[in-house]
Amino acid sequence: MLHVDPDINQFVQDCFEEALAGYSPLHDHTIHLRRKYLKDMTMRAQPMVNGGFFRKSARAYRVDIQDHTRINESVRVPDLPQRVLVGWFAHELGHVMDYHQRSWSNLIKFGLGYLLFPTFRVGAERKADLYAIEYGFAEAITATKEFLLTESSIPNSYKNRLTRYYMTPEEVEIMVKKRESGTIFRDRII
Ligand SMILES: [Zn+2]
Q: What is the pLDDT of residues 3-61, one digit of tens each?
A: 999 999 999 999 999 999 999 999 999 999 999 998 888 999 999 999 999 999 999 99
Tens digits of per-residue pLDDT, 96-151? Answer: 999 999 999 999 999 999 889 888 889 999 999 999 999 999 999 999 999 999 98
Residues at Cβ < 5 Å from ligand 1 ion: 125, 128
Write down how long the chain is.
190
Distance 124 CA to ligand 1 centre (A): 7
Q: Residue 154 class from Cβ within 10 Å (0-12 exposed, 13-18 middle, 19+ buried)?
A: middle
Distance 190 CA to ligand 1 centre (A): 35
Average per-residue pLDDT in the chain? 90
Distance 77 CA to ligand 1 centre (A): 16
How much is the pTM? 0.91
Are 31 and 2 spatial neighbours (Cβ–Cβ below 8 Å)?
A: yes
Q: Is 75 left (phi over 0), alpha (psi -120 to 50) or beta?
A: beta
